Structure formats: structure tokens, C-alpha cells
Amino acid sequence: MEALFELLSLINNPQIQSALNPFRFALGGLGLLMLAFVVLVLSRTMWLKFAILFDLTEFLTYRPYGLRRMTKRWEKLMARLETANESEYKLAVIEADGMLNEVLSRLGFQGETLGDKLEGLTAAVVPNLQAVAQAHQVRDNVAHDPDYRLSLDMAKKTLSEYETAFRNLDLI
């Protein structure tokens, strides 16, 4: 025990402490510089946003992050049906298909096109899988055949299938 006290008194010697002061200041400055670097990196990356902001938003609103944006996109898309223009109906179907493709990509489903992703899905993920595949076929007809006629009823039916898929995925 006496050896420990002697070692502590040697370390606490005022002459040794004054000799260590330059090292203290240098290492303290280096620590502050490293802290500033960490804060800078965290502010410029998306990690902080994903780790804290998204979770906090979901916790406070009881809804998935980005749901409001998705709902607004869907409402704009459905507003296209209120016009009496067939090209707006076609554009609404193409946009709904694109939204579903984007959502499935974010969820991690593999495939180059939406058709490929739909082949990898099961009815457990999207219960109306066959209807969504038919809606995707309507989109393909609209996109690839300029003479394809899309009526308001067919557009509403197609978009209702996409809407059901989005509701099953809790996105709108």
C-alpha cells in the first residue's frame, strides 16, 4: 500500500505536472479537433437522419416516415382522373406503376423491372398479386402501344388495384 502512495505522490509532484502541461494542451486540442470532425461528418451524412430523425418522426406521428409524401403523390395521381382527357388517365396509370416499382425497390425486392419484381412476390406480401399483375399489363399496353384506348372505367379499375396494393403495404 505504501508503494502505491509513493507512486501517486510521484505522479502528483508539481514539477512533473508542470512538465506535462504542454502535452495536456496539445492532446486536449487534438480531442476538440476530432470532436469537431465527427460532428461535421455526422451533419453531412444521412446516417444521423436515418438513425434519429426518421425514428423520432415515426414515433411521434405513429405513421411510417414518408407516408405523407406518398399520400400526396397518390392524391395528385387520382386528381388526373377528374379530367376528361385520356392522356391524363394513361399518365396516372404509368405513375401508379412507377410508384409501386419504387416502393418495391425500397423494400428490397430484386428485379430490373416491375414485372420481374412481381414474379418474385407472393400473395403474403401483396394479397391482390394477380390483379396488380393485370394492372401492370394495362400499363405496359399504355406505354408500348400508342393506339391503345384507355377508358375512364378501365383507368379507375386499374388504379384501384394499385391502391389496394399500396393499402396492403400500409403506404397510403
What does CATH list as the number for 67-168? 1.20.120
Q: Residue 97 — very low, low, confident or very high, per pLDDT cuts 50/70/90?
A: very high
Domain boundaries, the chain: 2-44, 67-168
Q: Using one digit for the tens of pLDDT, what is the confidence trace for 103-151?
A: 888 888 888 888 888 888 888 888 888 999 999 999 999 999 888 998 9
pLDDT of the residue at 123:
83
Nearest CA among 161, 122, 112 for reference residue 139? 161
Are 123 and 129 within 8 A, CB to CB? yes
150 φ/ψ sector (left φ>0, alpha ψ -120 to 50, else beta): beta
How many percent of the chain have pLDDT more than 90? Answer: 36
Place of cell 436515418: 50
